């Protein structure tokens, strides 16, 4: 476990996974072992969404990639790159065509091996300022590589009246739970608020959209995404790709407790 601390804020990270973010002792994140989901955060890359109905194939310019739900990045291990008092960086690297064993096989998937025909590196940096936590992702790799990226953090809830609010609309927990695994799309949004016992401001750069998912009343996933995968049939997931056109593409989420 790695711990970052800045004044009344404390963050815990285990093998690159954010497992705790506390402000003056108030825990913002869903805890592993609590009902709902078995993680606190993960990343969705290089695709977002399910692929089972498309035979686990996703069309890319180099042919068909074999991908399970949310891609293969989460089955790679992070390497610690750099550690400071209030900042830490992890890296995952992948070589084009390498076989990755799917952790969802055989209990939740029939796809045993996953393959992506492009090499890439993803850097994840967690940094504590005086009043917020910034999580930044840097994507680098082969020029014109197609990809989607999403971040999948889970937040702890204390009341059944919790809601997500943007500047124009709000979504209640009951509505989000009824959406099931399709999740609720929040398009063209870079800032929203999670209102529960206290209020968390969630701001992003680079992603452009959110989706909201919750299977239980004690947690909610507020996920910044570059593409909402249920906007198209699984056979056409490639419509959601962006293409790497710079040395490093950056995406950021910032969390802060405001009341």
Q: What is the mean pLDDT of residues 43-59?
A: 96
Span 139-161, pLDDT tens digits? 999 999 999 999 999 999 999 99
Q: How confident is the model at residue 58 (pLDDT cuts 50, 70, 90)?
A: very high
Fold of 2-257: Beta-galactosidase; Chain A, domain 5 (2.70.98)
d(CA 24, CA 238) in angstroms, rounded, equals: 44
Q: Which of 152, 147, 121, 145 is nearest to 43 (CA)?
A: 152
Q: What's the whole-number average pLDDT of the chain?
A: 96
Query: What confidence score (pLDDT) does residue 24 get?
Result: 95
b/e per residue, 177-196, with b = 16+ CB within 10 A? bebeeebbbbeebbebbbbb
CB 177 within 8 A of CB 214: yes
Q: Where are the domains of the chain?
A: 2-257
Span 75-103, pLDDT tens digits? 999 999 999 999 999 999 999 999 999 99
132: phi then psi, degrees, rounded to nearest 5:
-160, 165
Span 122-144, pLDDT tens digits? 999 999 998 999 999 999 999 99
Looking at the predicted structure, is the pLDDT value of residue 239 above 90? yes
Query: What confidence score (pLDDT) does residue 259 get?
Result: 79
d(CA 89, CA 22) in angstroms, rounded, equals: 19
């Amino acid at each position: 476990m790695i711990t970052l601390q800045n004044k009344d804020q404390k963050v815990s990270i285990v093998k690159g996974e954010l497992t705790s973010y506390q402000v003056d002792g108030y825990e913002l994140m869903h805890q592993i072992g609590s009902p709902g989901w078995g993680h606190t955060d993960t990343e969705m890359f290089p695709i977002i969404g399910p692929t089972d109905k498309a035979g686990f194939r996703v069309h890319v310019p180099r042919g068909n990639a074999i991908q399970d739900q949310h891609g293969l990045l989460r089955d790679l291990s992070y390497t610690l790159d750099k550690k400071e008092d209030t900042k830490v960086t992890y890296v995952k690297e992948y070589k084009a065509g390498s076989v990755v064993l799917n952790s969802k096989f055989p209990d939740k998937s029939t796809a045993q091996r996953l393959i992506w025909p492009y090499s890439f590196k993803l850097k994840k940096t967690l940094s504590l300022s005086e009043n917020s936590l910034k999580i930044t992702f840097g994507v680098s790799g082969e020029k014109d590589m197609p990809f989607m990226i999403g971040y999948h953090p889970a937040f702890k809830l204390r009341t059944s009246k919790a809601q997500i609010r943007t500047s124009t609309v709000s979504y209640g927990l009951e509505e989000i739970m009824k959406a099931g695994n399709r999740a609720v799309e929040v398009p063209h949004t870079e800032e929203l608020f999670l209102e529960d016992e206290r209020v968390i401001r969630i701001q992003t750069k680079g992603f452009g959209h959110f989706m909201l998912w919750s299977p239980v009343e004690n947690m909610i996933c507020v996920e910044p995404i570059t593409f909402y995968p249920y906007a198209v049939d699984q056979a056409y997931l490639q419509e959601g790709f962006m293409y790497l056109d710079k040395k490093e593409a950056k995406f950021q989420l910032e969390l802060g407790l405001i009341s």
